[in-house]
Each structure stands twice: as C-alpha cells, then as structure tokens.
C-alpha cells in the first residue's frame, strides 16, 4: 500500500545511498517513500538538469526516486504511469505529454496515489499541482522583448516583420505560440508575417528555416519557441550568411523561451537578443516539497489559487554540483498560483536572459554546461 502520510514516511524511511546510474535513488525495499517520475524526453542538457536536480533533492529527503522516459510517446507514458500504480508507488511526478495521459492520472488518483505535474500541466482535476514557469507568459514576455529589441535595433523604422518558428501542436508549444502571438497582435507596428512549424529538433528547425529564408526576404525578427529550435534557427542564419550580432546593420532580432549551455554563448555574442529561461532545476524539487506537505497535512497544505509563493515558503539548502552551489539562488521565486483545467498551477518566475546577465551562475545552463 502507498505511504499515506509524511509521519508514516518519516517512521519508515531508510538511509539513502548514492545516486543510481539509471535514475534511481534509495530503494532496495528499505521502506522509504517511493516516487515514480515520468519525464517526456530522453537525453539533452535540459532533460539532464530537469531530472538530476530532482534526483539530488530526492536524495536529500531520503526518497526513492525512479525515472522513466517515454520520448514524447503518450501511449508509453500511459503504460509507465499504470505500472507505477500497479507497483504501489507512493506518489507520481509527471510531465504529461498530452491529454491522452489524463486517464492514467485519474486511475492513479483513484488508488490514492497523488500525482504532481511539472513542466507540462496536464488537463485533469485529479492532478494535485502543476509546477513550472507559465509557457503562455513566457511567450508574451518574449514578444515584449522582441518589440524592445526591434525598436532598439532599428529605431528609424515604422514597421517590423517577424517570423514565428513554432513546434508541434502540443500543450507547451501551443501556449508559447499563443502568448507571443496575442501580444504581437496588439502591436500596430509589428506583424508576424509567417509561422513555420518544426519538430523542435535542431536539424528540422535548421532545414525548415533555411528553406523558408531561401524563398523569402529575411524578416526583422525571429521568434523561436524553444532552445533547440532556436539553435536550429541560428544555424540556418549562419548557413545563409545572414547571421550578424546585435548592433550590426544586418542583425535579425531573435528571442525565445529557454537559454542553456549552447544558447548562452549566442546570447553573450549578440546573435540571440533575449530568452526567457526556466528555473528547471527547481521544478521537481518544488514538486517534492509540495508532495511532502500534502502527505503531512493534506490538500490544505498545498499552494492555493490567488496566493504568491515566495522563497520563504520553500527554501533549499544549497548543495555542490558540477562545481556550482545548486539552489543557492532562488530564481524560481516568486511563483503566482492560479487554477487551470481544474487543478492548481504554481507558475514560477521566468528569467529574462540577455547579454547583461547571461553569466549568472544560478542559471541552469551555467551549472549543466
């Protein structure tokens, strides 16, 4: 049976060993709290930061932490979550790929296994909380940064054109697209002249952007909707001899959600003007803190819509990782709490990253680099 209270967990938890090579901590039948983590991608710096930070915090709390990845396959994620339920895990932390995963989450909740989501919210009221930055809000901020950069780069122009390079039609991509487009749609002097779709990989983003720019005049600005998509865009600009840093007469303004170890140098050198970065190394640790509060005091202990969560509500002791003090800078705070799709959303702060602050040691891309 799942552990149903933090008190029971504290009584039964055993000593946790070193980090497991397969994404596991603790375990070996020692009675510790067992948390199954279902993440959405396999490989890459962002994913590594996402689950390693959770793994490290689980170790700090004495939690068995088992990670499975479905690589954007909702059917596999449904199977994984049902397996966690069948094996009697005490809680599940998931990044739901799409609405098809809702039924499995409902099944877990029916077995009194609480489900917390991170990065991707899910759309069922069986979810206890969702924790991440707001994707729509990030898109809107990228639009604001785009307008500011266009006006600074080309102060004598009256109108500006923007190419929107989006991802597939899933929750995260749609929100980032909608947030950007809605803000730009309110601007009389900025127009999204075209939207092209990619699968968010570097290669596809590069080839799709290259094809478009080979057949059309270059825009004044480009909005890419994630980290790898943005790298692909910059590769395309370089391939077509269109890459130029900010301040150069031929510079194409570029904003996007997500910085990272391969994006930060492009920001520093002026090729990408600004990003809205995620405090990804706090997502699962914050979800774990909420989980432990829930096991102790129930739903009333969770953040409530209308509240603002601060660093005083969820504090972290820094730990050494990759030569950095992980969690020493609470860049996730403050988090605004809302309700969407029948469950609570804890929307962390996003970090606007420009050439002025790209060297901030608290950014995940400067820790996992």
Backbone angles phi, psi at 92, to 5 degrees: -130, 135
CA distance 210 to 236: 5
What ranges make up the beta strands (E) of the chain? 24-25, 34-39, 64-69, 91-94, 115-118, 127-133, 160-166, 190-197, 221-224, 253-257, 274-277, 308-309, 319-321, 324-326, 335-340, 343-348, 351-353
What angle, 0 to 180 degrees and rounded to 10, lies between the N-to-C axes of helices 283-297 and 45-61? 30
Q: Around 44, how many Cα atoms within 13 Å sit in the side-chain half-sphere?
A: 16
Same topology for domains 6-132+279-348 and 135-277, yes or no? yes
Q: How far is CA 362 from CA 102, 133, 241, 353, 354, in A?
A: 34, 16, 34, 12, 14
pLDDT at 6 over 90: no
Least confident of 31-40, 194-203, 324-333: 31-40
The residue ranges of DSSP E strands in 78-125, in sequence order, are 91-94, 115-118
| Model confidence pLDDT, tens digit, residues 136-150 | 999 999 999 999 999
Residue 281 vs residues 48, 51, 235, 321: alpha-carbon distances, Å = 9, 8, 27, 11
- For residue range 155-167, what is the model confidence (pLDDT) as tens digits? 999 999 999 999 9
The confidence score (pLDDT) of residue 15 equals 28
Among candidate residues 195, 258, 191, the one with its CA nearest the CA of residue 220: 191
Residues 285/68/87/15 CA torsion (nearest 10 deg): -50
Tell me what percent of the residues of the chain surpass a pLDDT of 90.
85
Query: What whole-number distance in Å separates Cα of residue 235 and Cα of residue 242?
Result: 10
Pairing of strands 91-94, 115-118: parallel
pLDDT in tens, 20-32: 334 455 544 456 8
> What's the pLDDT at 27?
46
Reported as a single tens digit per residue, the pLDDT across 73-113 is 899 999 999 999 999 999 999 999 889 999 999 999 999 99
Angle, helices 171-185 vs 135-153, to 10°: value is: 40
8 vs 201, which has greater pLDDT?
A: 201
- CA-based nearest residue to 175, from 208, 209, 125, 135: 135
Fold of 135-277: Rossmann fold (3.40.50)
With H, G, I as helix, E, B as strand and everything else as coil, classify residue 8: helix
Query: Could you tell me the pLDDT band of residue 9, with boundaries at 50, 70 and 90?
Result: very low
**Is the predicted pLDDT of residue 39 greater than 90, yes or no?**
no
Q: What is the pLDDT of residue 30?
A: 56
CATH top class, domain 6-132+279-348: alpha beta
Domain ranges (residues) in the chain: 6-132+279-348, 135-277
Cis previous bond, 127, omega within 30: no
Indicate the average pLDDT of the chain. 91
């Amino acid at each position: 049976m799942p552990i149903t209270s933090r008190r029971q967990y504290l009584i039964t938890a055993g000593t946790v060993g070193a980090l497991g090579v397969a994404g596991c901590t603790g375990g070996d039948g020692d009675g510790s709290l067992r948390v199954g983590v279902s993440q959405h991608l396999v490989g890459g710096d962002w994913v590594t930061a996402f689950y390693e930070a959770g793994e490290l915090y689980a170790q700090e709390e004495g939690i068995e932490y088992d990670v499975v990845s479905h690589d954007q396959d909702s059917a596999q994620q449904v199977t994984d979550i049902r397996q966690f339920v069948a094996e009697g895990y005490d809680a599940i932390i998931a990044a739901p790929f799409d609405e098809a995963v809702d039924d499995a989450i409902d099944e877990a909740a029916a077995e009194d296994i609480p489900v917390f989501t991170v990065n991707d919210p899910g759309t069922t009221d069986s979810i206890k909380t969702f924790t991440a930055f707001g994707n729509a809000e990030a898109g809107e901020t990228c639009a604001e940064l785009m307008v500011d950069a266009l006006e600074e780069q080309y102060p004598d122009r009256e109108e500006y054109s923007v190419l929107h390079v989006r991802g597939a039609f899933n929750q995260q991509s749609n929100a980032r697209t909608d947030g950007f487009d809605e803000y730009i749609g309110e601007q009389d002097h900025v127009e999204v002249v075209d939207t092209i779709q990619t699968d968010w990989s570097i290669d596809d983003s590069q080839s799709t952007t290259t094809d478009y720019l080979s057949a059309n005049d270059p825009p004044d600005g480009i909005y890419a909707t994630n980290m790898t998509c943005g790298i692909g865009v910059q590769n395309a600009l370089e391939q077509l001899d269109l890459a130029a840093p900010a301040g150069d007469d031929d510079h194409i303004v570029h904003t996007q959600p997500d910085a990272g170890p391969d994006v930060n140098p492009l920001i520093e050198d002026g090729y990408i003007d600004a990003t809205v970065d995620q405090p990804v190394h706090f997502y699962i640790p914050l979800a774990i803190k909420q989980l432990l509060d829930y096991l102790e005091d129930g739903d009333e202990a969770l953040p409530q819509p209308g509240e603002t969560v601060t660093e005083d509500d969820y504090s972290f002791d820094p730990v050494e990782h990759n030569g950095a003090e992980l969690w020493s800078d609470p860049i996730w705070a403050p988090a605004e709490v809302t309700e969407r799709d029948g469950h609570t959303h804890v929307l962390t702060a996003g970090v606007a990253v420009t050439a002025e602050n790209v060297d901030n040691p608290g950014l995940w891309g400067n820790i996992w680099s």
